[in-house]
Amino acid sequence: MKNGNRRRNAAVFLICAAVILLAVTASGILLEEAAVETDFAEKNLPPSNRALFGTDWMGRDMFARTLAGLSLSIRIGVLTAVVSGIAALLLGIAAATLGRKVDAVISWCIDLVMGIPHILLVMLVSIACGRGFAGVVAGVALSHWPSLARVIRGEVIQLRQAPYILTADKLGVSRLKIVRRHMLPHIMPQFLIGMVLLFPHAILHEAGVTFLGFGLSSEQPAIGVILSESMGYLTTGKWWLALFPGAALVLVVLLFSVAGEYIRRLADPASAHE
């Protein structure tokens, strides 16, 4: 009885989270123009009914900027998580099924990438790719696949010894077909959960690298840009420039993170006993 409630609660939460995130993403896209529109007659306004989150030193509406920034972050997060996830899936399966040499090479790559601090790697790749949107996406995507790849590799290695896989092999089913028909469906839950849990990382790293000046260009309404701009104004008491965008970023990240946990509960009920 209790379990049933939890599953239903999880499902309700997931739907709510998805609706919120979609709403933020969509409204951010719609507000993109408003987010960069300057109005010097309305600069440095504290939060009020007129400007919910206040305005900055160029009179830009912080509410529009926050939503546009979150939207941009979420879209980059989705893009990079998908790219990373697919890379992890392919490499994880390849390592586990294509023999020892391939496994050694891929495992070495995983160790290498995991050995470098994330933020540093993101910065380096981003600079190498010319910063901006392409730089950030490349940086985040190329640095976030190893942990998921390692999980998938482990799963597949375990799976290789499963009786039904061994049987299929003995019956002469081709390797590719085994992977497609028998392995992929099995690891799909772990893969999906892993990918959802990549979002918060991707978003925070995007914001972090942009904050440090190695990511998105400063005219874009990204959360990292907003936060780094706010730095110069905090000492003069303009707290709203940092508080709302920062809190909103944390909320979105938490939402993704908790949603990932709930998906795990739904897709992998056994983990509830861990």
In the complex, the residues that contact other proteins under the rule CB under 8 A are 36, 38, 40, 43-44, 57-58, 118-119, 131, 197, 200-201, 204-205, 207-208, 211, 213, 217-219, 227, 229, 231-236, 242, 246, 249-250, 253, 257, 260
Give the list of residues 6+ apart from residue 45 with CB closer than 8 angstroms, or none: 51, 54, 55, 59
3-state SS class at 134: helix
The least distance separating other proteins from the CB of residue 256, rounded to whole angstroms, comes to: 9
- Nearest CB to other proteins, comparing residues 88 and 178: 88
The least distance separating other proteins from the CB of residue 114, rounded to whole angstroms, comes to: 12
The least distance separating other proteins from the CB of residue 159, rounded to whole angstroms, comes to: 22
**Structure letter (DSSP) for residue 40:** G
CA dihedral of residues 232, 229, 130, 78 (deg, nearest 10): 140
Token pair, residue 191, equals: 């893969």
The least distance separating other proteins from the CB of residue 153, rounded to whole angstroms, comes to: 17
Q: By C-alpha distance, which of 181, 68, 101, 199 is closest to 144?
A: 199
55 - beta bridge partners?
A: 61
The least distance separating other proteins from the CB of residue 56, rounded to whole angstroms, comes to: 9
- Nearest CB to other proteins, comparing residues 89 and 179: 89
Amino acid symbol at 29: I
- Nearest CB to other proteins, comparing residues 49 and 235: 235
The least distance separating other proteins from the CB of residue 258, rounded to whole angstroms, comes to: 9
Token pair, residue 178, equals: 């085994």
- Nearest CB to other proteins, comparing residues 28 and 215: 215
- Nearest CB to other proteins, comparing residues 20 and 114: 114
Pairwise CA distance, residues 263 & 249, whole Å: 21
Pairwise CA distance, residues 55 & 119, whole Å: 30
- Nearest CB to other proteins, comparing residues 93 and 229: 229
